[in-house]
Amino acid sequence: MVTGVKFRVERLFNTLGFHGKGSKGSLFFLYSYTVDMPLVEHIQLPTFSRLRQQGQEVLSLDRAEHQDIRELHIGILNMMPDAALEATERQFIRLVGNCNRIAQFYVYPFSLPEISRSQKTRDYIEQYYCKFDDLKKQGLDALIITGANPASHLLEDESFWQPLAEVVSWANQNVASTLCSCLASHAILKQLHGIERQALPEKLWGVFNHRILEPQHPLLRDINTRFDVPHSRYNEISAAQFEQAGLTVLVESRIAGVQMAVSEDQFRMIFFQGHPEYDINSLLKEYRREVLRYLAGELQKAPVCPSNYFSSVARQMARDFLENTKPDMPLPAEFENDLAAQLDNTWGDTAKAIVSNWLGLVYQVTNLQRTRQFMDGVNPDDPLAIRKL
């Protein structure tokens, strides 16, 4: 069986002392596409059942415990608002589960009690999510921090500001690598580097083409040099701001700006400004909410379509509907369904590949003991041995 053979090869190379990215890394990538890494249903999270129904491989805990495969333990700090909490949870867990490295994934969603929630969502979190204090004791190999819904003009006035700083402080000393999304990137960059995000003239909303600036970086191995990423934000951190702080910009768009950057050590902190985790209809649901706001009289003008997202047919359908609809009219069900039929996902494969590369690198440098950050011989200030001087 390929799984067992590969696991034994890994242990053989560890025994022989090959821990660098050359010999051991090359062998890993030679076999890395033979089998997917399965998710493990180690907690009764409804997302696992939904992903299994959608065709995702999810192992039962009993089956996982009888396989001789290494585990990776991934935390997901979910700061999204109630309406998007479960969808965001599912999107990131799916990305992790679609990774093609050979390991079993144990994912641990958790949130921050300081974030305002409905009682229904608090009950969901209490029933299905983990406690950060418990995760600190158990240890994690990697961490994902989602975006959040801005409630204040100043990031330091957000309810998540201080507890997020505590999570990041712990992760910097205990987790091999942390991936930050959108608003989390802006908040953490301000906390760690004093970078102030800049307000955009108007909302950046749509799907934009990006170009890789550092094609030799291990996180971008075998990635198309140009690809799309969805964005939905009112603020940005520019390439100049990243670079002045000593960070490396890896992926940038002429229109949308920086999508991906890394910390000075090239790996321990990864920053996204866009949303590669989005489902094909995520921007459509956001557009639908804006249309409902317009029909309810909250917006004076009809919302514009997300850039480069709707086909010409879909844009015309949206215009026709809005021209023939008056305020306070209900939104027919076919509005969203008809538009959804015209959508294309032009970013999902690249998102999977980047997350796969990320977790493959975590696999190579993290310690087998979850409470230890790196394996022996890995320099925390240069985990991938590629840091720029």
Residue 175 lies in a domain: yes
Residues 156 and 93 in one domain: yes
Question: Would you state the structure tokens that stand for residue 84, as one six-digit string?
Answer: 């998007």
Residue 371 lies in a domain: no
Residue 22 lies in a domain: no
Residue 359 lies in a domain: yes
| Cβ within 8 Å of residue 269, ≥6 positions away | 172, 177, 178, 180, 188, 192, 262, 263
Residue 226 lies in a domain: yes
Residue 385 lies in a domain: no
CA distance 7 to 276: 31
C-alpha distances in angstroms, 361 versus 189, 266, 275? 23, 12, 21
Residues 311 and 199 in one domain: no
Residues 293 and 263 in one domain: no
Residue-wise pLDDT for 196-220, tens only, equals 999 999 999 999 999 999 999 999 9
Contact 147, 344 (CB under 8 A): no
Question: Would you state the structure tokens that stand for residue 67, as one six-digit string?
Answer: 């396989």
Give the relative orientation of helices 333-340 and 282-295 as an angle to the nearest 10 degrees. Answer: 150
Residues 319 and 170 in one domain: no
Structure-token match 């229109």, residue found: 255
Domain range for 152 is 36-279+347-365
CATH of the domain at 224: 3.40.50.880
Mean pLDDT across 270-288: 96
| Cβ within 8 Å of residue 177, ≥6 positions away | 142, 143, 267, 268, 269, 270, 358, 361, 362, 383
Residues 288 and 152 in one domain: no
Residue-wise pLDDT for 136-183, tens only, equals 999 999 999 999 988 888 999 999 999 999 999 999 999 999 999 999
CA distance 369 to 103: 15
Residues 198 and 288 in one domain: no
Residues 144 and 252 in one domain: yes
Phi, psi (degrees; rounded to nearest 5) at 214: -125, 75
Known active-site residue 298: no
Least-confidence region, from 34-43, 127-136, 139-148: 34-43
Mean pLDDT score across all residues of the chain? 86
Residues 217 and 77 in one domain: yes
Residues 204 and 87 in one domain: yes
Residue 355 lies in a domain: yes
Classify strands 104-110 and 71-79 as parallel, antiparallel or unpaired: parallel
Known active-site residue 126: no
Known active-site residue 156: no
CA distance 389 to 382: 11
**Residue in 217, 275, 290, 305 annotated catalytic:** 275
Structure-token match 């969901």, residue found: 124
**Residue in 182, 210, 252, 305 annotated catalytic:** 182
Residues 181 and 219 in one domain: yes
Instruction: Flag whether pLDDT at 25 surpasses 90.
Output: no
**Residue in 89, 158, 277, 290 annotated catalytic:** 277
Q: What is the pTM of this model?
A: 0.84
Q: Please state the domain count of the chain.
A: 2
Which residue type sits at 199? A
Residues 204 and 298 in one domain: no
Residues 180 and 301 in one domain: no
Paired strand residues for 77: 110, 145
Residue 201 lies in a domain: yes
